[in-house]
Amino acid sequence: MLKPGTTISNFEKIELDKSRIIEMAWEDRTTFESIKIQYGLDEPALMKLMKASLKLSSYKLWRNRIRIKSIKHEKLRVAKVTKAFCPTQYKIGR
């Protein structure tokens, strides 16, 4: 837990939130642009993080998955996809 008023670098923020970034990268509805806005990681940087964090087979599955999913890029999304998560995604406390 950080003390109030403590600042952290972008690198430290990425390390603290690495599991969340990986989760977002696997989610179909979360775009690369959303990850870049929140964590400052563009697609090549995200690919490096995923490759370093996942087993090789898992990384290959992820790469294949995002290659065939056009909604990972905001500009390629259909107009009806308007949010980055589905209403039932966060079930904690329900």
What residue ranges do the domains of the chain occupy?
11-76
Encoded amino acid at 53, one letter:
S
User: For the packed helices 56-68 and 18-26, what is the interaxial angle rounded to 10 degrees?
Assistant: 50
Q: Return the higher-pLDDT residue of 76 and 44.
A: 44
Q: Distances from the Cα of 60 to the Cαs of 15, 16, 68, in angstroms?
A: 22, 24, 13
Q: Return the higher-pLDDT residue of 14 and 55.
A: 55
Name the pTM for this structure.
0.65
Report how far residue 18's alpha carbon sits from residue 87's, in angstroms, rounded to the nearest whole number: 23
Flag whether pLDDT at 94 surpasses 50: no
* Structure confidence by residue, pLDDT tens digits, 10-24: 777 777 789 899 999
Confirm if 28 and 69 have CB atoms less than 8 A apart.
yes
Q: How many C-beta atoms surround the C-beta of residue 31 within 10 A?
A: 20
Flag whether pLDDT at 45 surpasses 90: yes
Residue-level pLDDT at 7: 63
Report how far residue 22's alpha carbon sits from residue 51's, in angstroms, rounded to the nearest whole number: 10
